[in-house]
Amino acid sequence: MKKHKVNWQPKTFLAPTDGEVVTIDAVPDPVFSQKAMGDGFGIKPAQDKIYSPVSGTVTMIADTLHGIGLRTDDGEDILVHMGIDTVELKGEPFKVHVSTGDKITAGQELATMNRQLVQEKGKTRQLLSL
């Protein structure tokens, strides 16, 4: 994957869902807690709807629907990742409401995560946004 350099400035963005925010180092997956994918945070979601934290463009939707890549208008890449190890569920608990290339606005609904089904399948419901 080609990385591009961005002159990043601190900015405000929306939480992708309601729930309890946890620090990235407390997320129970070393890929995230050790910041291999970059800095971020976790949320223990209190609802199934997932919203865009930023305005920009949808750059990627995982084949298994558990992750959505976004690029802000100033070039910052954001990953909204739903659950831990949910790639193994092959998209079953997710409905994505956007497509790659779509222009989106902060607060727009991106997806729905069936939290009950995720839990029944033995996966962690924590949502990550990087």
Catalytic residues: 81
Taking alpha carbons only, the member of 58, 43, 33, 48 closest to residue 116 is: 48
User: Strand (E) positions, the chain?
Assistant: 19-23, 41-45, 49-51, 56-61, 67-72, 77-84, 94-96, 103-104, 109-113, 124-129
Burial call 65-91: b when 16+ CB within 10 Å, e when fewer: bbbbbbbbeeebbbbbbbbbebbebee
Residue 3's CB is within 10 A of a number of other CB atoms, namely 6
- Cα-flanking dihedrals φ and ψ of residue 80, to 5°? -100, 110
